[in-house]
Amino acid sequence: MPSTIEKNSRVSVEERLFSLVLALIATEIGLTKADILSTVQGYRQRYLPGGDNASLERQFERDKDDIRELGIPLEVVEPPDDPGSNHHLRYRIPKGLYELPADVTFSPDELMLLKLAATVWREGSLSAESRRAMTKLHALGIDSNDPVLGYSPSLRVREAAFEPLSKAMDRGQVVAFLYLKPGEAAARRRQVEPRAVVLHDGRWHLFGTDQEAAATRTYLLSRIVGPVVSVPGASFEAHGEGQGQEALRELEALWTANIAVISARPGSDAAVRLPQGRTPGEMPTHQDASALHLNLHYTDLNVLADELAGYGPEVLVHSPASLRAAVRSRLISVRDAHTDSDRDPHPDAMTGADT
Amino acid sequence: MNGGPALGASDRLTFLLALVPFLMDHDRISVTEVSEHFGVSPDRVRDAVNLIAVSGIPGETRQYLHGDLFDIHWDEFETNDLIVLTHLVAIDDSPRFSAREAAALIAGLQYLSSLPENADVDAIASLMAKLTRSASAAPSQVAVSGTDARSSIAVVQAAVRDGVQIEFDYLNARGEHESRLVDPWRIQSVDRDWYLRGWCHLRAAARTFRLDRMSGLHATDVPTSPRSADAALPETLFEGSASDLDVTVELPPSAVPLLADYAPHGAAGAQADRVRRTLRVAHYHGLKRLVTGLAGVVEVVDPAEARAVVREWAAAGAARYDEAEPTDVGD
């Protein structure tokens, strides 16, 4: 086995990946897979000249994916004299696309803001990405001012769908999931091209193209009730930048246009909690002895109807009529579902389910 | 900054790729300084330097000869814990961000941008543009509308900064109003919900308060008392209580995830189109709101008392619409 540095035959994963990145940056014309497996540190120790290197090849495929996940532009070059040939594909990392652009710099204040932005994702989704982004920023050697103390804003996406949806979106992969639409009692399967995942009015939404309806739809992540699965072989062209902003603009326009007029019992949960962040001005419209009158913005009638129904007698909806009817019918259905007939207190009687 | 969770190979590779250009810009730097700058342990720095120093490219000979490898001043490293790179290979700049890394920072900035002290919209926009330009692919389309800049956030934040007590009327989760006097320690958010953590003088204990349950909030001019050592901040926002009640509900299997916050357990009737689950709830005050807010989906089956509480809540709500017919029917 050719080797000038004697090492244990176990080369750590990061050493193998680091060596692969260095080798692919250093090459102008690219290296073939055979070059890589037979010469690069971490592969060459396990390479069998003329033998079966299938497991090593699979290792290389996984390593390529891992490296690309980190934002490293690993390119495949087809040989001009032999296009379509798998054997002579060459791999390289163009240095100009690898490096941070030379003219990008960050001030200490900007770095402080970025630190705070990274800590927003301190747990769960995107926390690993934030951490790695900060490591890359630290390479620039800028000393930052310290973020404000006593203050820790965070985003902690509770919905399990976030991770698979955002990854499928980056790969242009069509997904399918069960969706329990607000206002409906049963979930239905949806097949969607995911275009953006956005937080609006405190709720995470998926913005995408519903393939069955062939139209743009917005879904609440909290209402995706099953696993998000990739649809085999179904991919789509990325819609490009600005999808997230477009989704937010649409939601914002809806939110601004929809106004519900309600009154809430003074001092109740509804009166204390509903006005926060929802009313057009800072203050509720007006209050008399028996009620606090509020105008509430909302995005989705059924979502607001669910929320308002939860407040029971603390809230009375005045308009729109559709919202008033939706809240009233929810309250009646809950009342009736929890009313036992004298003879048969068995709950199956109410739901109609017989086993 | 703490050591963080277990670091995968991706994190370690990123650290190696970031450390090389940093060391190039610092002719001679101590392990301690590097560890402080990157927020990692000194041992992790030493491990990385040891690895970099023996790494390189296969080279012309494909033999990883000496000139194809990084090198360091070994005496300085081993004797004085100082890092001096003496030979460089292949890379000399920090790598770009991945699409998701750039998106994470951009979304974080969007989330912060509506808060009072980050209100410099132009500065944030220019920062986002820089991040976009520094990514190797278009940032993932994850976008966040600003958290609502409630005046209460600014009041609490100023009180934390100035070290003064705050006073407010608090509507607790059982629907009871109490006047509270609190030493504010930290203001914290999770998505759209904001929380204050601090010392509650009424309870003489560390407590967490939701900002949307406060009214009449104002800062006093009384300085906060020095924080005693035993008043450590618990890491979790919420804890269960021994007085929690078990309630059995029935719902379609697909709706079970909607109750994830209430730790549903039990799996009777798994093949039916309705399944039963048992929830832990702190009190019926919250349960009746939860169930009524999921009309047509969730039904309480047991205990009878819980069914009755929910029924009366919904009935009282429905009755309000019988009293007052709207003037704008057909609108």
Residues A135-187 have pLDDT tens digits of: 999 999 888 776 666 677 788 777 889 989 998 998 899 999 999 998 888 88
**What's the mean pLDDT in A32-54?**
90
Asked if the Cβ–Cβ distance from B317 to A247 is below 8 Å, we say no
The whole-number pLDDT of residue A150 equals 65
For the ranges A259-273, A318-332, B143-157, the maximum mean pLDDT occurs at: A318-332
Cβ distance of A158 and B272 shorter than 8 Å: no
Put simply, whether A253 touches B (Cβ < 8 Å) is no
- pLDDT at residue A194 in the model: 96
Cα A90 to Cα A36, A190, B223, B261: the distances in Å are 10, 40, 68, 51
- Mean pLDDT for A265-290 is 73
Q: What is the pLDDT of residue B293?
A: 92
Nearest to B104 among A121, A198, A340 (CB): A121
Closest residue in chain B to residue A329, using alpha carbons only: B318
pLDDT at residue A147, as a whole number:
62
**Confidence band of A349 (pLDDT split at 50, 70, 90):** very low
- Tens-place pLDDT, residues A207-232: 999 999 999 999 999 899 889 999 99
Give me the average pLDDT of each 10-residue run along chain B (331 residues): 57 94 92 93 94 86 82 90 88 91 92 72 87 91 75 83 91 86 86 84 88 89 73 52 79 81 68 81 87 91 91 93 60 38
Q: Do B98 and A69 touch (CB under 8 A)?
A: yes
For the purposes of burial, counting CB atoms within 10 Å of the CB of A143, is it exposed (0-12), middle (13-18) or buried (19 or more)? exposed
Q: Does A346 touch chain B (CB under 8 A)?
A: no
Give me the pLDDT at residue B67, please.
81
Cα A278 from Cα A264, distance rounded (Å): 14
Q: For A124, which residue in chain B has the nearest alpha carbon?
A: B5
Q: What is the mean pLDDT of residues A195-199?
A: 93
Nearest-CB residue to A331 (from B145, B314, B326)? B314
pTM of the predicted model, to two decimals? 0.82
Q: Is A154 on the interface with B (CB under 8 A)?
A: yes
**Contacts of residue B161 in chain A, CB cutoff 8 Å?**
148, 150
Confirm or reject contact between A332 and chain B (CB < 8 A): yes
Please indicate whether, in this complex, the C-beta atoms of B127 and A114 are within 8 angstroms of each other: yes
Q: What's the gap in Å between the CA of A84 and the closest CA on chain B?
A: 26
pLDDT over 80 at A86, yes or no: no
> Nearest Cβ partner of B295 from A13, A148, A333?
A333
Taking only residues 284 to 303 of chain A, the set having a beta carbon closer than 8 angstroms to any beta carbon of chain B reads none
Looking at residue A285, its pLDDT comes to 59
B154/chain A closest Cα distance in angstroms: 11
pLDDT tens per residue across span A95-106: 999 999 988 889
Residues of chain B contacting A340 with CB distance shorter than 8 Å: 307
Contact B160 A132 (CB under 8 A): no
Q: What is the pLDDT of residue B228?
A: 57
pLDDT of residue A355: 33
Judging contacts by C-beta atoms under 8 Å, the chain B residues touching residue A307 are: 293
Asked if residue A339 has pLDDT above 70, the reply is: yes
SS3 (DSSP) at B254: helix
| Residue numbers in A near B331 (CB within 8 A) | 319-321
3-state per-residue secondary structure call for chain A: CCCCCCCCCCCCHHHHHHHHHHHHHHCCCCEEHHHHHHHCCCCHHHCCCCCCCHHHHHHHHHHHHHHHHCCCCCEEECCCCCCCCCCCCEEECCHHHHECCCCCCCCHHHHHHHHHHHHCCCCCCCHHHHHHHHHHHHCCCCCCCCCCCCEECCCCCCCCCHHHHHHHHHHCEEEEEEECCCCCCCCEEEEEEEEEEEEECCEEEEEEEECCCCEEEEEEHHHECCCCEEEEEEECCCCCCCHHHHHHHHHHHHHHHCEEEEEECCCCHHHHHCCCCCCCCCCCCEECCCCEEEEEECCCHHHHHHHHHHCHHHEEEEECHHHHHHHHHHHHHHHHHCCCCCCCCCCHHHHCCCC
